Amino acid sequence: MHDVPHWVETLRGVILLVVWAVLVLRVPALWRPRQRPVWIVLLALVTGSVMIQAPVAEWIDGVTGVAKASELAVALVALTDFAAVWWFAVVLHMAGHSAPAWLRRAPVVCAAAMAVLAVAFFIVTPAPDRFGEQAHGWWLGYAAVWILYGAITAVGAAAILWRHGITMRSPVLRISVLALAIGTSAELPYLAVRAVRWFTPEAPPALALVGFWCSFARFVLVALGCSLAAVEPLRRAFLYWYRRQRLRGLWLLLRQATPELVVTPPRSRVSDLLTFENAWEQLHQRVIDIRDSIALLHDGWASPQLSRQASEYAAEAGPRGRERLVATACWIEATRRDAAAGAPKLHHELDKDLLPEVHASESTVHRETRHLLRLHRVLRSRTVDAFAEGVRQGTSADTTP
């Protein structure tokens, strides 16, 4: 038994619970090729956590009737885990780069070869020599190939993960990939400790504790890294859904004034709240709808005089530094009221100076949403309402005989 603080096992249990929760939550990732590798790594981790439980080990040994069959099962799951992390790193690399055929096949080929060798050495080695603190007889061969296999998979995965983790743009993905890189790197000192303990007759007992901490660090960091990477698509989907909901008020306000742009009736509030699929596309479409309505108001009911009045009014009444935003909101609100009242279109040729700024890519969607939300707040302000009311009264006076 390792002399470690109680919080270590508590943390292991918490991480294990998180991994299981993420694994179940992300079952749909199996049908999405880009998310499948992370799910498979998590599956290998949780399978290994189950296999090391004493009741499971006793059951395997009892069912098979073979001494230490449970430890062989744990070894097979562990080598699958090592290969899965390496495979995930290769898939991550292939997302933006080409990879030679040998590298794409390497994790599977190495894992299959190690599995065959592990079973072969298990068969030829007498039961007392299997999985001992020190390697004897045929088990020396198993120890050598296991250390070599572990080093190959750790170096192969860590080299790729370090390279991509440093350059990741998304903060969450950067943290997750760097956690995976540190975790796989921790395998190397663990393997060094394991080699000393296997091949040195009088290895210091403290090495066992060092090896435990390296193994513990590897488990925690790989589990956290995979969990963050697996949950990131859900986080982004929720963020896009939330932004879409915040834009609903502005979207409805403008769509009601430009019904000719409405192809299908808008969903009810409840239906909109319950729509989660294609979160980015849904948000992007809402932004496009808002932009289209503003463009129609601009081309149909705006005039050079209105633009000039809005700019002059914003310079006097608008907060300092936000004159352009206030001027934009003023002409939008004035034209929106004209459109809603059924006023005839003017079709003036206008410049685009007072159209809202456009940030239409996924990487700038947060800035786009913030800008439109600020525009909506200004549209509802007393300042803009006073301008639109003044324009309406001026228009009425001009048309009165």
Q: What is the pLDDT of residue 356?
A: 64
Query: 229: closest CA among 304, 176, 294, 185?
Result: 176
Contacts with 317 (C-beta within 8 Å, 6 or more apart), sequence order: 326, 383, 386, 387
Residue 24 exposure: Cα atoms within 13 Å on the Cβ side: 5
Structure tokens at 380: 């509802």
Structure tokens at 55: 């009741």
Give the separation between CA 254 and CA 261, rounded to whole angstroms: 10
Write out the chain's pLDDT in tens, 401 residues: 455 566 666 766 776 777 787 777 777 777 777 778 888 888 888 888 888 777 888 899 899 889 899 999 999 999 999 999 999 999 988 887 888 999 999 999 999 999 999 999 999 999 989 998 888 899 999 999 999 999 999 999 999 999 988 888 878 888 989 999 999 999 999 999 999 989 988 878 788 888 888 888 888 888 888 888 778 888 888 999 999 999 999 999 999 899 888 777 778 888 888 888 888 889 988 998 999 999 899 888 888 888 889 989 988 887 788 888 999 999 999 999 999 888 888 776 665 555 665 544 445 577 888 889 999 999 999 999 999 888 876 665 454 44
pTM of the model: 0.69
Give the separation between CA 45 and CA 37, rounded to whole angstroms: 13
* DSSP per position, 192-255: HHHHHHHH-TT--THHHHHHHHHHHHHHHHHHHHHHHHHHHHHHHHHHHHHHHHHTHHHHHHHH
Burial class of residue 125, CB neighbours in 10 A (0-12, 13-18, 19+)? buried
For residue 357, CA distances in Å to 183, 194, 297, 331 come to 44, 60, 16, 15
Give the separation between CA 142 and CA 51, rounded to whole angstroms: 20
Q: What is the pLDDT of residue 3?
A: 56
Q: What is the pLDDT of residue 211?
A: 84
Structure tokens at 177: 């990939």
Structure tokens at 208: 């066992």
Q: What is the pLDDT of residue 264?
A: 76
Q: Do 394 and 313 form a contact (C-beta atoms < 8 A)?
A: no
Structure tokens at 123: 């068969």
Long-range CB contacts for residues 287-290, cutoff 8 Å, separation at least 24 = 287/247, 287/360, 287/365, 287/368, 287/369, 287/372, 289/251, 289/254, 289/255, 289/261, 290/247, 290/250, 290/251, 290/254, 290/372
Q: What is the pLDDT of residue 349?
A: 63
Give the separation between CA 282 and CA 244, rounded to whole angstroms: 7
Q: What is the pLDDT of residue 1?
A: 45
